[in-house]
Amino acid sequence: MIPATISQLVSDKFQEAQKNNNVVYKKLDSKLIKDKETGMRYYATLLPSLNDKPEFGDTAESEDPLAAHEPELLVLEDIDGSGNLKLVLNKFPTTENHSLLITNEFKNQLSALTPEELMTSYRLISKMDNEDEGKRHMIIYNSGPQSGSSQKHKHLQLFELPEKFTPFQDVLTNGKDHFLPNIKEEPLQDDKVSFAHFVLPLPEEAEEVTEDLLAMCYFSLLQRTLTFFQDWLNETPDLVKSYNLLLTKKWICLVPRSSIKAKSLNVGFNSLGYAGILLIKDQESFDKIIETPTIVNDLLLECGFPNTAGVKPNEYNY
Ligand code: AMP
């Protein structure tokens, strides 16, 4: 069982780690902005401390910083009594309390999530969310070299959503009942945004969310994402499969990725970008995005694939 006091455990650990300089966290500014053309809202953060974070390929093959993390960052060695996952503070957090769910045994970040990992993630979010205080959380999984992932040891990441921020997936799934996609019913996709993404609403009642249900949601979206790559292989034969997974209590979303970084501006994205949470390392790029929020839709497309809302699926999609 995940301890009922998990929120407190994480925030106490984070305060202590920040006081003792065990985490590298420097946030200079953050702003809520809106793209008037698409209606997309973004939460942009200027975070120079991200320059210290190792990027994909920076860590030597023989090293595993997520296994050999500093003891001061450990929140729980065994998050739910199964012995499979530990909860560790992120050394280079992007928000306060930013934590990692790391497999105790080494598994590769390219491997699919297991039903147990999905269920533990859902339970963790449910324990951390606090409706009275308006606190919501999201768990992400960056998988593949173009996904924004930097470590090969399997890990998911836990964040609190910024206050008063509504990811577009909330609007997309609002009032919609849970369903599993099939040849007749595609996953939800917002036709106003540029990039392909596949979203399913989760049941409102937490008791209805089981390991099987989460696994079916994930695998059907993964199947849709992988067949999507199939369509692009002729044009880009070197394409390596990469995707982002985003999970909240309300929905699950997968985004196929083509590139970590946009070429037109010095910004990169992981899963957070595809919820509208932008982590910017330098002032110049931050200012540009604040001045012209419409460019973000193009940057996200540059690192993803074109939106396919309204395109009829074929038998290979499912
Ligand atoms: P990703 O970049 O999606 O693969 O996530 C890996 C995360 O591990 C990043 O957010 C890093 O900030 C974090 N990280 C890197 N090195 C360490 C470390 N030594 N201890 C804890 N977290 C780390």
The string of pLDDT tens digits covering residues 254-313 is 999 999 999 889 899 999 999 999 999 999 999 999 999 999 999 999 999 999 998 877
Cβ–ligand 1 distance for 98 under 6 Å, the answer no
At residue 316 the predicted structure's pLDDT band, cuts being 50, 70 and 90, is low
Model confidence band, residue 315 (pLDDT cutoffs 50, 70, 90): low
The Cα 301–Cα 297 span in angstroms is 6
Q: Which two structure tokens, joined as six digits, stand for 69?
A: 């993390």
pLDDT of residue 44: 97
E strand spans, 104-148: 137-143
> Cβ–Cβ contacts within 10 Å for residue 183, how many?
11
Using one digit for the tens of pLDDT, what is the confidence trace for 127-144?
A: 999 999 999 999 999 999
Report the C-alpha gap between 31 and 42 in whole angstroms.
Answer: 8
What is the per-residue pLDDT for 89?
98
Listed in order, strand segments (DSSP E) in 257-301 are 277-280
pLDDT digits 0-9 by tens, 179-219: 999 888 899 999 999 999 999 999 999 999 999 999 999 99
pLDDT value at position 246? Answer: 98
Cα–Cα distance between 125 and 5 in angstroms, integer?
A: 13
> By three-state DSSP, how is residue 10 classified?
helix
Residue 317 pLDDT: 63
Check if 153 is active-site: no
Across the chain, mean pLDDT equals: 94
Query: Quick check: CB of 92 below 6 Å from ligand 1?
Result: yes
Pocket test for ligand 1, best of 100, 155, 261 (most atoms within 8 A of CB): 100
CA distance 168 to 255: 13
What share of the chain has pLDDT > 70, as a percent? 98
Q: How far is the CA of 140 from the centre of ligand 1 (A)?
A: 13
Question: In angstroms, what CA-CA distances link 23 with 12, 43, 73, 170?
Answer: 13, 22, 8, 31
User: Which of 25-29, 95-99, 243-247, 270-274 shows the lowest per-residue confidence on average (mean pLDDT)?
Assistant: 25-29
Q: How far is the CA of 69 from the centre of ligand 1 (A)?
A: 9
d(CA 80, CA 121): 10
Please say if the pLDDT value at position 226 is more than 90: no
Question: Which of 69, 97, 108, 150 to mutate for ligand 1's pocket (most ligand atoms within 8 Å of CB)?
Answer: 150
- Nearest CA owner, ligand 1 atom 3: 149
73 C-beta closer than 6 A to ligand 1: yes
Ligand 1 contact, 69 CB (< 6 A): yes
According to DSSP, residue 208 is labeled G
Confidence category of residue 56, pLDDT binned at 50, 70, 90: confident
Cα(174)–Cα(23) distance, integer angstroms: 36
pLDDT of 239 strictly over 90: no
Could you tell me the pLDDT band of residue 35, with boundaries at 50, 70 and 90?
Answer: very high
CATH fourth-level superfamily of 6-317 = ATP adenylyltransferase (3.30.428.70)
For ligand 1, say whether the CB of 53 is within 6 Å of any of its atoms.
Answer: yes
Which residue among the candidates 137, 153, 155, 197 is catalytic per the annotation?
Answer: 155
Instruction: Please state the φ and ψ torsions of residue 46, each to the nearest 5 degrees.
Output: -95, 110
Q: What percentage of the chain exceeds 90 in pLDDT?
A: 84
Separation between Cα atoms, residue 112 and residue 135, nearest integer Å: 29
> What is the enclosing helix (H) or strand (E) of 116?
helix 115-128
| Amino acid, res. 109 | Q
Is pLDDT of 125 > 80? yes
pTM of the model: 0.96
Cβ(150) to ligand 1 under 6 A?
yes
Determine the pLDDT at residue 318. 56
